[in-house]
């Protein structure tokens, strides 16, 4: 198993970049945030516990996250290539992931470090709207749908993620700084970091990252 990690604060565009990379490469996109939201929706046993943390913008406990990651990896072929979006998010998760890679003979190829100024992150997240049906992502100002509140693709209603309100967004940013940003030096010491300026347009961010990953 080979993997890359997309690392960056909420609103950096990890999901958007992952979707573009998935279309052009053979990486399997694994978003722990999406998996947790799906678990809640499906009424899985981890759902109610995870929901409490997510609504506050706090992190779901490491053992729960490692559990879903291991399960996901086990479902794929041994030579699968993964792109992790939103994992690892604590030093403990990074260390447990290193152990897991050793156990299964996997290799971490690169860690894409996406950076964006705070004021831009807050604007991106508080204006974000998502299609209830297909999951397409819009922004009320930057990427508005043709008709307000309605998805261009399928006419379904758009919604705001409950943790995208300004207060929770500020908490998510401070959680990122305290608990996730230390991973940048952890991976820089291992010479795995690829720095990306993610304040560019989605297209430019994608083009830059793809070229750097291939180069
Ligand atoms: P964002 O990166 O925009 O915050 P995500 O969808 O990746 O959005 O995550 C939403 C929430 O899911 C997080 O605030 C956290 O509560 C939970 N979560 C996702 N991934 C992890 C993780 N690796 N460890 C702990 N909690 C996580």
Residue 111: predicted pLDDT: 98
Binding-site residues, ligand 1, Cβ < 6 A: 10, 32-33, 36, 53-54, 57-60, 65, 86-87, 89, 93, 163, 172
Atom nearest to 11 CA in ligand 1: 3
CATH number given to 2-117+175-214: 3.40.50.300
Alpha-carbon distance 43 to 203, whole Å? 36
Mean pLDDT for each 10-residue chunk of the chain (215 residues)? 97 93 92 95 95 96 96 94 97 97 96 96 94 92 94 97 93 97 98 97 95 90
List the domain boundaries for the chain. Answer: 2-117+175-214
Q: What's the sign of the alpha-carbon dihedral 121, 200, 209, 136?
A: positive
User: What pLDDT, on the 0 to 100 scale, is given for residue 171?
Assistant: 95
| pLDDT at res. 153 | 96
The predicted pLDDT at position 24 comes to 87
What is the tens place of the pLDDT at every residue in 83-120? 999 999 999 999 999 999 999 999 999 999 999 999 99
Cα(105) to ligand 1 centroid in Å equals 27
Question: Please, what's the b/e burial string for 185-212 (b: 16 or more CB within 10 A of its CB; e: otherwise)?
Answer: ebbeeeebbbebebbeebeebbebbeee
């Amino acid at each position: 198993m080979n993997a890359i990690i997309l690392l960056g604060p909420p609103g950096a565009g990890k999901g958007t970049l992952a979707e573009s990379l998935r279309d052009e490469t053979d990486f399997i996109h694994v978003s722990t945030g999406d998996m947790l939201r799906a678990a809640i929706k499906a009424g899985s046993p981890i759902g109610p516990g995870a929901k409490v943390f997510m609504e506050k913008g706090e992190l779901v406990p490491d053992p729960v996250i490692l559990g879903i990651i291991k399960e996901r990896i086990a479902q794929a072929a041994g030579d699968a290539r993964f792109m992790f979006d939103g994992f690892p998010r604590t030093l403990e998760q990074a260390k447990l992931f290193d152990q897991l890679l050793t156990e299964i003979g996997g290799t971490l190829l690169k860690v894409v470090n996406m950076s964006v100024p705070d004021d831009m992150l807050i604007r991106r997240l508080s204006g974000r709207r998502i299609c209830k049906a297909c999951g397409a992502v819009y922004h009320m100002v930057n990427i508005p749908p043709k008709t307000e509140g309605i998805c261009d693709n399928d006419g379904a209603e758009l919604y705001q993620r409950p943790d995208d309100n300004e207060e929770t967004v500020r908490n998510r940013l401070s959680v990122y700084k305290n608990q996730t940003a230390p991973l940048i030096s952890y991976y820089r010491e291992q010479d795995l970091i690829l720095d990306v300026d993610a304040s560019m347009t989605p297209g430019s961010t994608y083009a830059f990252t793809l070229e750097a990953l291939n180069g």
